[in-house]
Amino acid sequence: MSKFSLITDGFVKNNPTFVLVLGMCPTLATTTSAMNGLEMGLATLFVLVLSNIVISLISPMVPDKVHIPVYIVVIATFVTVLQLLLQAYLPSVYQTLGLFIPLIVVNCIVLGRAEAFANKNTVGDSALDGIGIGLGFTLSLTVIGIVREILGSGSIFGWKFIPGDGILAFVMAPGAFMVLGYLMVLFNKFAKKN
Amino acid sequence: MEYIIIIVSAIFVNNILLAQFLGICPFLGVSNKLSTATGMSGAVCFVITLATVVTYLLNKYLLVPFELEYLQTIAFILVIAALVQMVEIVLKKISPSLYQALGIFLPLITTNCAVLGVAITVVTKEFTFGDASHMLNLGQAVVYAIATSIGYGLAMILFAGLREHLAMNDVPKSFKGLPIALITVSIMAMAFLGFSGIV
């Protein structure tokens, strides 16, 4: 049961976007549509799980003074792996997410989980934590993407069901802040009570 | 002329916070008070400019000639982390008063994606000037970095001013804190959209 809660905690209780408020830059920048949000979430999930695994393996050997640089190098390595994989197999995703793929390195969620969880837990638990937090992040990004896509272009995952142009502002910068703000209000009102 | 286009577009049209979404975490984190917002903007301006120069040269004279561009991400983040450490040590020795002012913000800057974002943008993106588009040269890169960080400071200080007033107002419970701040930023971003099309 506790193993299971490691994963589900990331959805609501430790939700990286609405509760921990980490990794705001990709959250705002890449959620112009549901698909983009989902892709960004999965890319972060990939790096998060692998770096959590490696960091939990090497952390006993790393001297305390240099642990942050070491962690950053581990994370940057997996980001580079992801960059090369995407360039080779999913060039369209690489194009849409653009700058925000290399910027996973400085996503505070990844380093935050390394510091707060992976360096003092077993490999298995760290992997599960990475999956949980990663899925929570993916879920929030997809939800924000869905809302922005419906309001901004009247479609959902590219399937258009409202005729007309939609409210352009929601695809642009102001909509990102506004949707995140109002979703956070709803989250505070309904989810935080339990 | 190219320099003016770079400056106007980096400060207003493509404002790093309100249009490019870089460096949002410290933006939301330290914009509670006007004084800390000013300090953070100063520190970011300093580090972005320095980091851009160093990574630009590193990319041009080391990574590109040896075909090591795939190491960009790792090399850049290490350079930035080392640079921030060095700035901290040097400032402590030369100017303790400036160190006092910027001190607490410096370690935070390593994980500020604005720094890495600008460094990567400068070496990968082609900029359009009228009909021609080309990569930035060193001078233009420096101007771009400085203008970007001025834009960062501008948005940050404006927002901190708004937020100080916001703190005194009575907002509904679920809106308290970040949600109302985000909605305020949204309105600011809308105002900044008005600049698009200038250049």
Query: For the segment B67-80, what is each residue's pLDDT rounded down to a tens digit?
Result: 888 888 899 998 88
Cβ distance of A73 and B74 shorter than 8 Å? yes
CA distances from A57 to A19, A109, B197 (A): 28, 19, 52
A23, A17 contact by CB (below 8 A): yes
- The beta-strand segments (E) located in chain A are 155-156, 159-160
SS3 A117: coil
Cβ distance of A177 and B111 shorter than 8 Å? no
CA B25 to chain centre: 12
Q: Is the pLDDT of residue B197 over 80?
A: no
Res A193: pLDDT: 59
Rounded Cα distance, B81 and B90, in Å: 14
- CA A129-A130-A133 angle, 5° bins: 80
Res B104: pLDDT: 65
Residue B191 neighbours by CB under 8 Å, 6+ apart? none
* Nearest CB to B81 within list A69, A174, A176: A69
Looking at chain B, list the stretches that DSSP marks H as alpha helix, in order from N- to C-terminal side.
2-8, 24-30, 34-58, 72-94, 96-102, 106-109, 113-124, 138-167, 178-193
B105, B43 contact by CB (below 8 A): yes
Give the ipTM: 0.85
Res A145: pLDDT: 94
| DSSP letter assigned to residue B199 | -
Q: DSSP assignment of B120-161, as one string?
A: HHHHHPPEEETTEEE---HHHHHHHHHHHHHHHHHHHHHHHH
B142, B49 contact by CB (below 8 A): yes
B19, A173 contact by CB (below 8 A): yes
Lookup: tokens for A139: 């879920």
Mind telling me how many Å the CA of B19 is from chain A's nearest CA?
Answer: 6
User: Is A102 an interface residue toward B (CB < 8 Å)?
Assistant: yes
Cβ distance of B190 and A189 shorter than 8 Å? no
A109-161 pLDDT, tens per residue? 888 888 888 888 899 999 999 999 999 999 999 999 999 999 998 888 888 88
Average pLDDT value over all residues in chain B? 86
CA distances from A184 to A71, A143, A152, B179 (A): 31, 12, 19, 6
B7, B143 contact by CB (below 8 A): yes
- CA A47-A51-A52 angle, 5° bins: 115
Q: What is the pTM of this model?
A: 0.88
Cβ distance of A28 and B21 shorter than 8 Å? yes
Residue of A106, A115, A189 to mutate for B, most B C-beta atoms under 10 A: A106
B residues 113-172 closer than 8 Å to A (CB): 113, 116-117, 120-121, 124
Cβ distance of B113 and A111 shorter than 8 Å? no
Q: Is the pLDDT of residue B130 over 80?
A: no
Res A56: pLDDT: 94
Average pLDDT over residues B125-150: 85
Mind telling me how many Å the CA of A80 is from chain B's nearest CA?
Answer: 7
Average pLDDT over residues A74-90: 94
B3-60 pLDDT, tens per residue? 888 898 889 988 988 888 898 888 887 788 888 888 888 888 888 999 999 999 999 9
Res A68: pLDDT: 83
Res A66: pLDDT: 83
Contacts of A106 in chain B (CB under 8 A): 77, 110-113, 116
Contacts of B20 in chain A (CB under 8 A): 29
| Banded pLDDT at B90 (limits 50, 70, 90) | confident
User: Is B181 an interface residue toward A (CB < 8 Å)?
Assistant: yes
Q: Is the pLDDT of residue A74 over 80?
A: yes
Rounded Cα distance, B68 and B63, in Å: 5
Res A51: pLDDT: 95
Residue of A103, A151, A170, A187 to mutate for B, most B C-beta atoms under 10 A: A103
